[in-house]
Amino acid sequence: MKISIKNTAGKDQGEHEVKFAIIENGKGTQAVHDVVTAYRAAQRSGTACTKTAGEVVGTNKKPWRQKGTGRARAGSFQSPLWVGGGVVFGPKPRDFSKKVSKNTKQLALRKALSERLKAGDVVVVDDLKLSSHKTKDFVKIIDALDLNGTTLVVSNGVEDKNLLLAARNISFVDVTTSATLNTYDVLRPDKLLFTKSAFENVEARLNKE
């Protein structure tokens, strides 16, 4: 599969042969599901906490005598039946993370990127070095490349302060690196904008055994 390389003005600068195996069938669908589920689960803080009847602060005195009042029996102010009492089977701090194998992550990323490539949602530019940190200059590049909707910019990992400063004020643009790109990142935005070197780095990742 070949993809075209553009410059920041939106002009074609040649083609690039994709160097990882594109998935053409349904293989990898379950891997994508497992990886995205694990990723989102890992984002949960897991700090929700409730108190049981034994943890609620209060006296151990019996509210009223057992018989003769006409009211239901009651033995504790901390009872879950009472307002301010304990909570039955309430949440406690826990770790929601799930384990996913390295091979599953690799397959999921390759599947996700294959689908985005086939859908034409991936744009590759020869370079993305900005001469200034002004947001309006970066917006001109976005418009020239006809990137509509949310966009994820994938750089090669070399710190580009101008790119980070110019993109941070645009609500529909996020920036990441080729080393940290994951399946959820690939699926979430409407468009993916790679630098040529970043795309080659991702290809190298996907070709590792």
pLDDT band, residue 88 (cuts 50/70/90): very high
Cα–Cα dist 71/73, whole Å = 6
Q: What are phi and psi of 208, to 5 degrees?
A: -75, 140
**Tell me: the pLDDT tens digits for 157-208?**
776 788 999 999 999 999 999 999 999 999 999 999 999 999 999 999 998 8
Is residue 114 within 8 Å of residue 41, measured between CB atoms? no
Cα–Cα dist 154/140, whole Å = 18
**Tell me: the pLDDT tens digits for 43-74?**
999 999 999 999 999 999 999 999 999 999 99
pLDDT band, residue 1 (cuts 50/70/90): confident
The tokens for 99 are 């384990």
Please name which of 44, 52, 56 lies closest in space to residue 92, comparing C-alpha atoms: 52
Instruction: Choose the CATH number for 2-43+99-206 among 3.40.1410.10, 3.40.1370.10, 2.60.120.10, 3.10.590.10.
Output: 3.40.1370.10
The tokens for 18 are 């994709």
Q: 3-state SS of the chain: helix, strand, coil percent to 5?
A: 30, 15, 55
**Tell me: the pLDDT tens digits for 9-24?**
889 889 999 999 999 8
**Tell me: the pLDDT tens digits for 136-165?**
999 999 999 999 999 999 998 776 788 999
pLDDT band, residue 25 (cuts 50/70/90): confident
- pLDDT > 80? residue 209: no
In the prediction, which pLDDT does 57 show?
A: 95
Residues 193-204: b if buried by 16+ CB within 10 A, e if exposed = bbbbbbbbbbbe
- pLDDT > 90? residue 129: no
What is the DSSP track for 148-185? Answer: -S-EEEEE-SS--HHHHHHHTT-TTEEEEETTT--HHH
Question: What are the sequence ranges of the domains in the chain?
Answer: 2-43+99-206, 50-90
Q: Taking the model in full, what pTM does it have?
A: 0.84
Cα–Cα dist 50/39, whole Å = 26
The whole-number average pLDDT for the span 23-35 is 93
Beta pairing, strands 2-6 & 12-17: antiparallel
